[in-house]
Amino acid sequence: MTHTPSRRTVLRRTDAGAAALRAGCAGGGDDDSSAASPGREPARTGDVPIAGGKVLTEEKIVVTQPRKGEFKAFSAVCTHQGCIVSDARDGTIDRARHGSGFAVADGSVVQGPATKPLPGKRITVEGNSIRLA
């Protein structure tokens, strides 16, 4: 005899599985209480490659340089499942595990499964210093 779980049991297990996946995202989540305090210098201009970027895991920010001397910043929290993006190069900010990709110029989705862009973050650039605004 085969046991068929109730709808409630399936939903409960699905919720538990989703929570486990969220917990498995290193540094991810919507908690914005990161060390991204205004005025702090998390990167220098020389750390950010042209057409790429630098993922600042602790601050949950990715700083990009779409063109020489142009710097932008976005949330590093992937809009697909809340994990931190893994890399920024060759024109895209990538979340390798699930394959989502975002444009270094504006954070827009260039490859799913993510469907929402990365939110922009404010930075200031003074000389070689990149500071959180």
Chain segment 24-72, per-residue pLDDT in tens = 454 444 444 445 567 787 888 999 999 999 999 999 999 999 999 999 9
Count of structural domains, the chain: 1
Dist. CA 91–CA 84, nearest whole Å: 18
Question: What is the structure's pLDDT at 90?
Answer: 95
Q: Containing domain of residue 33, as a range?
A: 7-132
> How big is the chain, counted in residues?
133
Chain segment 96-111, per-residue pLDDT in tens = 778 899 999 999 999 9
Q: Would you say residue 114 lies in a domain?
A: yes
Bridge partners for 93 per DSSP = 88, 102
Q: Would you say residue 24 lies in a domain?
A: yes
Are residues 66 and 53 in contact, defined by beta-carbon separation less than 8 angstroms? no
Q: Would you say residue 2 lies in a domain?
A: no
